[in-house]
């Protein structure tokens, strides 16, 4: 329940003010203190959402999703609605001037006139960066190609700390072993998750990356593993799922990666189901959409934290949007 997490985090200073009018592009932007305060606010909202129905009144979100999405678009839009704001949605770039060759910088210049915040999902890694220089309203990366999905990672961490608030304690001894079934080099969810997890490396005994050795791709991008290890994560790798499962406390599984205009699947020989040899109190996280890798017979077991993860994303995004947008008026005045 969010109240246990709320009790575990003291309100300390107003570090969230630094998020006002900031672009959110990467998991790297969040230090431990900021994340904790964000989780505290999310838990406060989740405990009593009706108290927070006005912060974004008269504010407009431009929701631009040029790649398919169920959770991210709808949870951002739900979050914005719940905070009292209005939304303009673009779900197909061919309905905009982009189809006529309009440059992204010009599109961004127009967005400044029409909204107070942009949430962008794009299959190109660089579109976000092409727009940022021209934007005077904040933009949130809702998934840019194979690069990053920072708010998904924040939602992942929010789910983990709701499950085990004691992991926030820097002296925690009952550390977790995390299994990541996926490809950190290709999956933006996994890339951002590992970045955010590394901020709390004090709570992580080990991360085991389980991957299909038949996948014709590099498991890590150049320097990616070294950077995570420098931040304190102990990383090992394995080609076998079943022998690892009885030792894992958190299993983060994903099998798809959107690359260019196509979905690629990785690790399809790995499957989790209710008969998998999981620790009795292990939790499963999955950014979803799911495929064959995650059987529906797990949905009604205590291992299912992936639905809670998706539900919590609404409150996490409400917290983030409130901090980013509510206080932007004086900043935008300089335009």
In 3D space, the residue among 177, 88, 137 whose CA is nearest the CA of residue 329 turns out to be: 137
Q: Distance between CA 164 and CA 169 in Å, rounded? A: 10
The site map against ligand CP for 195-234 (x = CB under 6 A) is ----------------------------------------
User: Among 4, 289, 295, 331, which residue interacts with ligand CP (rule: CB under 6 A)?
Assistant: 289
**24: which strand partners?**
140
- Among positions 48-87, residues that touch ligand CP (CB under 6 A) are 69-72
Looking at the Cβ atoms of 162 and 290, the one nearer to ligand CP is: 290
Half-sphere exposure of 201 (CA within 13 A, CB side): 15
Q: Does 182 bind ligand CP (CB under 6 A)?
A: no
Q: Compute how many residues bind ligand CP; rule: CB under 6 A.
A: 10
Which range in 17-25, 174-182, 208-216, 286-294 contacts ligand CP by CB under 6 A? 286-294
- Taking the CA atoms of 54, 335, 115 and 143 in sequence, report the sign of the dihedral they define: negative
Looking at the Cβ atoms of 71 and 177, the one nearer to ligand CP is: 71
Q: Does 4 bind ligand CP (CB under 6 A)?
A: no
Tally of helices (H runs) and strands (E runs) in the chain: 10, 11
Q: Which residues are CB-neighbours of 217 under 8 A, at least 6 positions away?
A: 183, 185, 186, 266
Looking at the Cβ atoms of 153 and 209, the one nearer to ligand CP is: 153
Q: Distance between CA 217 and CA 226 in Å, rounded? A: 18
User: Among 124, 288, 295, 331, which residue interacts with ligand CP (rule: CB under 6 A)?
Assistant: 288
Q: Does 309 bind ligand CP (CB under 6 A)?
A: no
Looking at the Cβ atoms of 40 and 73, the one nearer to ligand CP is: 73
Q: Does 263 bind ligand CP (CB under 6 A)?
A: no
Contact 252/290 with Cβ under 8 angstroms?
no
For the bound state, the minimum distance from the C-beta of residue 78 to ligand CP, rounded and expressed in Å, comes to 12
Q: Does 27 bind ligand CP (CB under 6 A)?
A: no
Alpha helices in 205-305 (DSSP H): 224-230
- Taking the CA atoms of 70, 71, 74 and 76 in sequence, report the sign of the dihedral they define: negative
Q: Does 143 bind ligand CP (CB under 6 A)?
A: yes
For the bound state, the minimum distance from the C-beta of residue 232 to ligand CP, rounded and expressed in Å, comes to 26
Q: Which contiguous run of DSSP H or E holds residue 109? A: helix 104-114
Residues that bind ligand CP (CB under 6 A): 69-72, 143, 149, 152, 287-289
């Amino acid at each position: 329940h969010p109240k246990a997490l709320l009790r575990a985090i003291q309100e300390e200073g107003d570090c969230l003010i630094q998020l006002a009018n900031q672009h959110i592009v990467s998991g790297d932007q969040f230090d431990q203190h900021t994340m904790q305060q964000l989780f505290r606010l999310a838990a406060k909202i989740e405990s009593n959402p009706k108290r927070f129905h006005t912060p974004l009144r008269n504010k407009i979100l431009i929701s631009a999703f040029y790649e398919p999405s169920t959770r991210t678009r709808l949870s951002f839009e739900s979050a914005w609605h719940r905070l009292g704001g209005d939304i303009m949605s673009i779900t197909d770039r061919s309905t905009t001037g982009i189809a006529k060759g309009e440059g992204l910088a010009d599109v961004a210049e127009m967005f400044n006139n029409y909204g107070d915040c942009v949430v962008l999902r794009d299959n190109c890694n660089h579109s976000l960066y092409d727009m940022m220089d021209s934007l005077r309203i904040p933009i949130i990366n809702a998934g840019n190609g194979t690069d990053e999905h920072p708010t998904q990672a924040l939602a992942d961490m929010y789910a983990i700390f709701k499950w085990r608030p004691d992991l926030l304690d820097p002296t925690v001894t009952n550390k977790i072993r995390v299994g990541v079934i996926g490809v950190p080099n290709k999956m933006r969810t996994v890339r951002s998750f590992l970045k955010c997890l590394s901020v709390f490396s004090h709570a992580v005994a080990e991360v085991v990356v389980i991957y299909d050795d038949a996948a014709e791709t590099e498991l890590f991008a150049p320097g990616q593993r070294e950077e995570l290890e420098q931040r304190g994560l102990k990383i090992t790798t394995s080609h076998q799922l079943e022998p690892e499962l009885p030792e894992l406390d958190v299993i983060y599984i994903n099998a798809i990666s959107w690359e260019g205009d196509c979905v690629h699947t990785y690790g399809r020989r790995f499957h989790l189901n209710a008969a998998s040899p999981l620790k009795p109190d292990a939790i499963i996280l999955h950014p979803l959409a799911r495929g064959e890798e995650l059987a529906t017979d797990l949905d009604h077991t205590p291992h299912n934290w992936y639905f809670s993860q998706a539900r919590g994303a609404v409150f996490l995004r409400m917290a983030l949007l409130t901090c980013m947008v509510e206080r932007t008026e004086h900043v935008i005045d300089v335009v």
